[in-house]
């Protein structure tokens, strides 16, 4: 408190005073006394001179002689206040009269002194004048600060309402940045969020010139001012980026902006930093600690809103996933019931016939019944194996890849389908040699079994007595391909071919598939209609192909089909090529 009073007195002693008196000697003597006390003093010897003087001299107090040539010092009060609002006028006279004093005060004089002046009275009057001016200045400053604070709180409140009104991440980010821009009137600001997988900072949203250039940028951990804030978890004020070696100069190079001042505030949820709010301006030393405190308050709300938006986004994804799972389970129940019902019917039927009429059934007919029961029992076993495999695939995140002996794997698949191949009299054509690929043998065998099984069931033309003819093969598979699935040799370099995946395929001579049927393949538990219209003729694609897709995707490959109505189908899958 003592220091505040001392500072106030010091400021008052540096006050600016205008003396208006037509007595030159008196005016000069008074000026010397006041200047010796530290005041800045100017002199005018007439009303007109006083009016001209205050145009340039920012007088705070005017000492006016009541009786001037051709005018009155009291009449001068109004004109001085008009030219220099806030000036305090103290009148002086050698002809003291109560009426004159009252008139001076009524006309706006702050005090009234009698000549000859008592210097102590004069100094005391001036002290009161400057005390009043100082208090008014402090009051104005306080009111200005209060208005600014109210404005800032109003903006923070509006930003808070905007953040509470949406749970969309993109809208949250824009609301935060617009709020910062209105609060500080800056050139640009941006929000960088940490990507959990890489720990990099990614610019998710920005406003200001050339925002589209900066949006999507990535900073390595600790890189740039934003990286430093994210790593340290501390806010910072950078008065001049040119003097700070942490500054990421690529911003200026890419945008053409000369950003000089920076505020960096960590976005924190509980004890974890999730990103950085960065505020920039082209003016050197633009930001103050009060600005930092204001943006930190906004950043706390922003971090909470971003976290909530992430949570909602995660819940939406989870809901969508659960809806898809529910739909999948419905299809699962339908497909499994259908697939089990198909072979179960003959088992029950033939078993019932044997139980009731076994004694009268010829041995050859009985053996045929038993063969059919066994065959359909194997189908049920195969369906159960597929379901168990699919259940296991759901619980396995990664699998160790190994070189594959594709010839042996294909041979095992053919052995598993021995009865189907024999019964359909299918012709199986194999390549002379197989390429080296990586995968997991038991899973890849399941892929071949499914593709071969479908080729046997859908291949051939029964109405034309044409048996299934199934050809197995492979070709190279690079990253670039044409729209129809063929490699685009103009877009793929030799090195890409050298390190491409291998595409394995099964081609049949069946009736082919329509575009609509192709689009529905590989969807879990989706069944196509039976070939030729006979329900007993085909079990359906759905269960097996959904397993194929899950297997191949977990092995890092892709699945697909190429088919034309009347020209057969080619089902394919890719696996990483073995290098070296």
- The Cα 230–Cα 265 span in angstroms is 8
Neighbours of 3 (CB within 10 A): 7
pLDDT in tens, 515-546: 888 877 776 555 555 444 443 333 344 557 87
DSSP 375-437: HHHHHHHHHHHHHHHHHHHHT------EE--HHHHHHHHHHHTHHHHHHHT-EEE--S----B
What pLDDT is recorded for position 8? 45
pLDDT at 302: 78
Per the structure block, which two tokens stand in for 350? 């033939």
What's the pLDDT score for residue 31?
93
The residue with greater pLDDT, 97 or 2, is 97
Average pLDDT, the chain: 80
Find the angle CA(65)-CA(67)-CA(69) to the nearest 5 degrees. 110
What is the reported pLDDT for 530?
47
pLDDT band at 393 (very low <50, low <70, confident <90, very high): low
- pLDDT tens digits along 539-568: 344 557 877 888 898 898 999 999 888 888
**Who wins on pLDDT, 380 or 525?**
380
Tell me the residue ranges of DSSP E strands in 208-304.
218-219, 236-238, 261-269, 272-281
The model's confidence at residue 570, banded by pLDDT at 50, 70 and 90, is: very high
3-class secondary-structure state, position 105 = helix
Q: How far is Cα 375 from Cα 370, in angstroms, rounded to an integer?
A: 9
Higher pLDDT, 213 or 116: 116
Percent of the chain with pLDDT over 70: 80
* Pairwise CA distance, residues 291 & 288, whole Å: 5
**Greater confidence, 342 or 533?**
342
With 80 as the cut, is the pLDDT of residue 397 above it? Answer: no
Q: Among 125-139, 309-323, 399-413, which stretch is predicted with the lowest mean pLDDT?
A: 309-323
As a whole number, mean pLDDT of residues 498-506 equals 80
Tell if the pTM clears 0.85, that is, is over it: no
Higher local confidence (pLDDT), 360 or 559: 559
More confident residue, 543 or 59: 59
pLDDT given at position 432: 93
The pair of three-digit structure tokens given for residue 282, joined into one six-digit string: 């082209």
CB burial string 497-517: b at 16+ within 10 A, e below: eeebbbbbbbbbbbbbbeeeb
Percent of the chain with pLDDT over 90: 26
pLDDT at res. 182: 78
Q: Who has greater pLDDT, 377 or 562?
A: 562
Please give the residue that has the higher pLDDT: either 287 or 13.
Answer: 287
Q: Who wins on pLDDT, 23 or 543?
A: 23
Cα three-residue angle 453-456-462, rounded to 5 degrees:
150
pLDDT of 453 over the 50 cut? yes
Distance, C-alpha 2 to centroid of its chain: 53
Give the C-alpha separation, 4 to 10, whole Å: 10
Chain position carrying tokens 């600014």: 148
Strands 201-207 and 218-219: antiparallel
Residue 54 has pLDDT above 50, yes or no: yes
DSSP states of 159-184 as a string? HHHHHHT---HHHHHHHHHHHHHHHH
Which helix (H) or strand (E) element contains residue 457? helix 441-458
Averaged pLDDT, 273-280: 89
SS3 499: coil
Is the pLDDT at 493 greater than 70, yes or no? Answer: no
Q: What is the pLDDT of residue 146?
A: 72
DSSP 264: E
- Which whole number is the average pLDDT over 336-355? 76
What domains sit in the chain, N to C, each tagged with a CATH number? 2-138 (3.40.50.2300), 163-316 (3.30.450.40), 396-575 (3.30.565.10)
Tokens read off for 34:
């006041």
- H or E element, residue 61: strand 61-65
d(Cα 249, Cα 259) in Å, to the nearest integer? 9
Q: Which two tokens stand for residue 195?
A: 């990507």
Residue 151: the pLDDT is: 67
| Contact call for residues 281 and 261 (beta carbons, < 8 A) | yes
Average of pLDDT values for 274-282?
Answer: 88
Mean pLDDT of 355-373: 83
Question: Can you give the pLDDT at residue 430?
Answer: 94
Rounded alpha-carbon distances, angstroms, from residue 128 to 7, 89, 108, 132, 417 = 15, 12, 16, 6, 111
């Amino acid at each position: 408190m003592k220091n505040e009073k001392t500072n106030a007195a010091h400021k008052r002693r540096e006050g600016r005073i205008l003396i208006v008196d037509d007595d030159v000697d008196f005016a000069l003597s008074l000026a010397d006394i006041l200047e010796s006390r530290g005041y800045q003093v100017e002199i005018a010897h007439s009303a007109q001179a006083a009016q001209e003087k205050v145009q340039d001299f920012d007088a705070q107090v005017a000492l006016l002689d009541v009786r001037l040539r051709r005018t009155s010092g009291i009449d001068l009060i109004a004109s001085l206040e008009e030219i220099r609002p806030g000036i305090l006028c103290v009148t002086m006279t050698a002809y003291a009269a109560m009426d004159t004093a009252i008139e001076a005060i009524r006309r706006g004089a702050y005090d009234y002194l009698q000549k000859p002046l008592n210097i102590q009275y004069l100094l005391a009057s001036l002290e009161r004048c400057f005390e009043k001016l100082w208090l008014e200045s402090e009051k104005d400053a306080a009111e200005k600060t209060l208005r600014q604070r109210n404005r800032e709180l109003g903006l923070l409140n509006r930003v808070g309402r905007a953040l509470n009104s949406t749970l969309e991440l993109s809208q949250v980010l824009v609301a935060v940045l617009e709020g910062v821009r209105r609060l500080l009137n800056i050139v640009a600001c941006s929000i960088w969020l940490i990507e959990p997988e890489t720990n990099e900072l990614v610019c998710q949203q920005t406003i200001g010139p050339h925002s589209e250039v900066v949006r999507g940028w990535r900073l390595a951990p600790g890189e740039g001012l934003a990286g430093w804030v994210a790593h340290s978890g501390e806010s910072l004020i950078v008065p001049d980026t040119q003097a700070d070696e942490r500054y990421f100069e690529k911003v200026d190079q890419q945008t053409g902006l000369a950003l000089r001042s920076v505020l960096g505030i960590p976005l924190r949820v509980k004890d974890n930093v999730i990103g950085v709010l960065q505020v920039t301006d082209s003016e050197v030393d633009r930001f103050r600690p009060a600005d930092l405190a204001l943006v930190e308050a906004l950043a706390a709300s922003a971090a909470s809103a971003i976290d909530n938006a992430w949570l909602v986004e995660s819940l939406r994804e989870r809901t969508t996933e659960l809806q898809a799972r529910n739909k999948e389970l419905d299809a699962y129940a339908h497909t499994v019931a259908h697939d089990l019902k198909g072979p179960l019917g003959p088992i029950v039927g033939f078993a019932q016939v044997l139980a009731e009429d076994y004694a009268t059934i010829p041995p050859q007919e009985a053996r045929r019944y038993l063969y059919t029961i066994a065959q359909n029992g194997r189908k049920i076993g195969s369906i159960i194996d597929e379901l168990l495999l699919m259940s296991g695939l759901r619980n396995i995140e990664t699998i160790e890849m190994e070189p594959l002996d594709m010839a042996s794997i294909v041979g095992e698949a053919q052995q598993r389908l021995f009865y189907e191949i024999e019964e359909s009299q299918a012709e199986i054509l194999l390549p002379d040699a197989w390429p080296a690929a990586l995968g997991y043998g038991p899973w890849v065998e399941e892929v071949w079994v499914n593709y071969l099984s479908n080729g046997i069931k859908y291949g051939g033309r029964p109405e034309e007595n044409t048996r299934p003819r199934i050809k197995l093969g492979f070709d190279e598979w690079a990253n670039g391909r044409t729209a129809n699935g063929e490699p685009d040799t103009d877009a793929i370099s030799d090195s890409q071919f050298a390190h491409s995946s291998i595409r394995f395929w099964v081609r049949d001579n069946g009736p082919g598939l329509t575009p609509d049927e192709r689009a529905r393949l590989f969807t879990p538990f989706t069944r196509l209609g039976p070939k030729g219209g006979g329900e007993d003729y085909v079990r359906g694609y759905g269960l097996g192909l959904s397993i194929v897709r899950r297997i191949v995707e977990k092995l890092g490959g892709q699945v697909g089909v190429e088919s034309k109505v009347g020209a057969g189908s080619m089902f394919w899958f890719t696996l990483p090529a073995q290098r070296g």
